[in-house]
Amino acid sequence: MMFNRALGVLIALCVSFPQFGLAAIHVSGDEVTLETCGFTVDQVYRVTVQRTNVSQGGRTNERGCIKTTFREGKARAGDNLIIEVNGRRSSETVPGSGGGSTDPIDDREQVELSKVRQTAENQARFFANRVVIVYGSQENYRYNYYRGLRQGIDLYNWSTVSGVQHTYEFREGAARGQQDGASEGFAAGQYQGGNRGNSQGRADAFQRYQVVVDQNRAPDTELRIPAIHFGGLTASRSTPSMEDRLSQMESLVRSELGRLRFGDADYAHQVEWDEYWSPRTMYGWSDYRYDLVRDWYREDRAFDLYRRRALGGNYGSSLEYLERISDPAKTKNASEARNAYERSFKSEYNQVIDNKWRSAVTAPNHPAQTFGLHIGQQAAREHTREMGYNWAYATAYQNASLQSYEPAFTQSYRDGFEATVRQYEANAMLGSLSGQILGANGTEPLVIGAALSVEITRLVNYGRQNATVTLHSGSGTELLDTRSFSLGYSTSLQDSHVEKNFAKLLANPPPGQRQEISIRVGTRNDTSGLVLTQAIELRWDAQVVALARTGRNNAHVLPYVLKQIGEEWKEIDNTFSKNHYEGDARTKDTLLEQMVRAAKTLAPAERQSLQALKPELKRVFGDKPRLGGALTGKARKYKTAMALIDQI
């Protein structure tokens, strides 16, 4: 395409000549620019306009190219430009008036892939060394620490007692265990013998009095110490496992790691604690785990770290080279070069890292091995010392308990036997009580506040003194009258003994629920006595009948009945609960409904007495609900309750 020179339009022409590469001439207004490449870097050049003998020069740039511009019309269309480089000459003609143009020259680099691969392999070997320096030093410490740890533990054959009995630590622990076991075993045997002796002495003495009940003869009170069969006490001690012992060493390992740094001057790091440094974990290994770090930094991870220069090292120029050949603006085959570099790097890294890694890890490291040896030895020594202590403690404990048990048992047996004989000879001693608590007339249902009777079916006086048996109130009962009867020494009650109307019922469980009541049977000198217990249940209809017969004069039944109906009303009065006063065949009758039904079975006089209590019953339900009560259903419940009371 042609452009008018006066308008300052760019005109360029590319020409090929035998000595140099392609040249490009750009014409823009009164400026002419020459560009050509293919020379050695930093060579001296000169370009001369043949017509005017005007010349310009300089040195070839970093790409081996020449670029120079003639301004102010010093070169124009039709002029020959003489190019001289290192003694060689060539000429180019500036396009004529309104001349032609060519596309700009592509001066991007075309890199050789063989050189790219070679550079990548060199860098892979270099970076494998960086990984080994930074993390291999860490694993070298861990490897030698592990070896020392196992050596320290294995110095002692503590799997059996016989394997360590000869060691100083075992004997040292055994000396303390012998002393502690003897002291504590003697005290334990003495305590055990004392308890058992006293208990058996009392039981044997009681049995002497038990066998003569109703036999009309005196008991045998001669002391005879029984044969003692005692094999000694066993101490409940266990030696902690080696795993537990090594866990106690973790603080020492953490402290040691806290002061260590791994790597070199370019990059050093401190280890972060994990279970693979734990001596307890290492104790479970059958061999050292070489893969601890290596697998974390395989080829992909390594190439990423290399590009980020994450492990230090002096290879900045190589990264600049990788950046340049990967840039499409600078390299024609950038994508191909980038892929070739990465593949070659990873392949070479994989080939060299394993051997480098294992060699670095397994190299001797005396300080690390010594530290591991110290940890292992210390754990093994403490374990052996504890084994000695427990072994000697158990033996001494058992032997000492044997020594102290027999004399303690003998003396305590004597004391317990003789104390029981003195007690039974000097007192009436009641036992073996059985019987039942009844209503006043025996068969009638129990009513709160009503009189109670008791039937004693069995009672024995094991003592050698006559007894005056006395009845006392207990839980849920109140004594109405003091009652007593006689029972001879070494005698049992021959016939059932009944005491009527001696107490009244105070227990007030809700209808249908059971509650225990009791009375106490003792002597004049022993009011605590024996306890006769019985579970009772109050029938609601029985309370209603009792209320009808006694009316307002009953200080127990009336409050009970009002309280139970009031509790029931609280539950029914819940805002959204069903109106249970409107019963049907599927629901249980309320207490109020049962009261109405019971009232219909009463004699006229009794029912009239119950009807007189309507005001008290209605007061339980409070005032008549207002509008809000109608909305919630309370008014209907209240109205139904009032109607039921009116049916009494």
Q: What is the pLDDT of residues 251-285, one digit of tens each?
A: 999 888 888 888 887 888 788 888 888 889 888 88
| pLDDT recorded at residue 211 | 96
Contact 536, 478 (CB under 8 A): no
In this structure, the number of other CB atoms found within 10 A of the CB of residue 6 comes to: 10
| pLDDT recorded at residue 488 | 94
* pLDDT, mean of residues 522-549: 85
| pLDDT recorded at residue 185 | 95
Q: What are the backbone dihedrals phi and psi of residue 221, each rounded to the nearest 5 degrees, phi first?
A: -110, 15
In this structure, the number of other CB atoms found within 10 A of the CB of residue 445 comes to: 16
| pLDDT recorded at residue 295 | 60
**524 or 645, higher pLDDT:** 645
| pLDDT recorded at residue 3 | 34
CA distance 648 to 643: 9
| pLDDT recorded at residue 11 | 33
**351 or 180, higher pLDDT:** 180
User: What confidence category does residue 92 fall into, taking pLDDT thresholds of 50, 70 and 90?
Assistant: confident
- Tell me: the pLDDT tens digits for 5-18? 333 333 333 333 33
Which burial class, exposed, middle or buried, applies to 269 when counting CB atoms under 10 A from its CB (0-12, 13-18, 19+)? middle
pLDDT exceeds cutoff 80 at 38: no
Polymer length in residues for the chain:
648
Contacts of 240 (CB under 8 A, 6+ apart): 383, 386
From 280, 263, 281, 283, select the one nearest 271 (Cα to Cα).
Answer: 263
| pLDDT recorded at residue 492 | 95
User: What confidence category does residue 21 fall into, taking pLDDT thresholds of 50, 70 and 90?
Assistant: low
Cα-based angle 341, 347, 348 (whole degrees, multiple of 5): 90
Burial code of 135-158, b = ≥16 C-beta within 10 A, e = fewer? bbbbbbbbbbbbbbbbebbeebeb
Cα end-to-end span (Å), the chain:
126
* pLDDT, mean of residues 327-348: 93
pLDDT exceeds cutoff 90 at 162: no
Count of alpha carbons within 13 angstroms of residue 438, beta-carbon side:
17
pLDDT exceeds cutoff 90 at 445: no
CA distance 521 to 467: 11
Q: Which amino acid is at 383?
A: H
Residue 241 is encoded by which pair of tokens?
């496992």
Average pLDDT across the chain, whole number: 85
Contact 170, 384 (CB under 8 A): yes
* pLDDT, mean of residues 111-124: 93
Contacts of 640 (CB under 8 A, 6+ apart): 579, 581, 582
Percentage with pLDDT > 70 across the chain: 90
Contact 402, 190 (CB under 8 A): no
Which burial class, exposed, middle or buried, applies to 213 when counting CB atoms under 10 A from its CB (0-12, 13-18, 19+)? middle
DSSP 3-state of 497: strand
User: What confidence category does residue 82 fall into, taking pLDDT thresholds of 50, 70 and 90?
Assistant: confident
Q: Strand locations in 1-79, DSSP E?
A: 11-15, 23-28, 31-36, 44-49, 54-59, 66-70
In this structure, the number of other CB atoms found within 10 A of the CB of residue 39 comes to: 20
Residue carrying the six token digits 């973790």: 250
User: What confidence category does residue 397 fall into, taking pLDDT thresholds of 50, 70 and 90?
Assistant: very high
| pLDDT recorded at residue 493 | 93
Range with the poorest average pLDDT among 34-43, 274-283, 466-475: 34-43
| pLDDT recorded at residue 309 | 84
Q: What are the backbone dihedrals phi and psi of residue 502, each rounded to the nearest 5 degrees, phi first?
A: -95, -15
* pLDDT, mean of residues 501-529: 84
Contact 157, 382 (CB under 8 A): no
pLDDT exceeds cutoff 80 at 407: yes
Helix, strand and coil in the chain, % to nearest 5: 45, 20, 35
Burial code of 398-429, b = ≥16 C-beta within 10 A, e = fewer? bbbbbebbeebbbbbbeebbeebbeebbebbb
From 71, 58, 67, select the one nearest 30 (Cα to Cα).
Answer: 71
Count of alpha carbons within 13 angstroms of residue 388, beta-carbon side:
22
| pLDDT recorded at residue 106 | 66
User: What confidence category does residue 293 fall into, taking pLDDT thresholds of 50, 70 and 90?
Assistant: low
User: What confidence category does residue 586 fall into, taking pLDDT thresholds of 50, 70 and 90?
Assistant: low
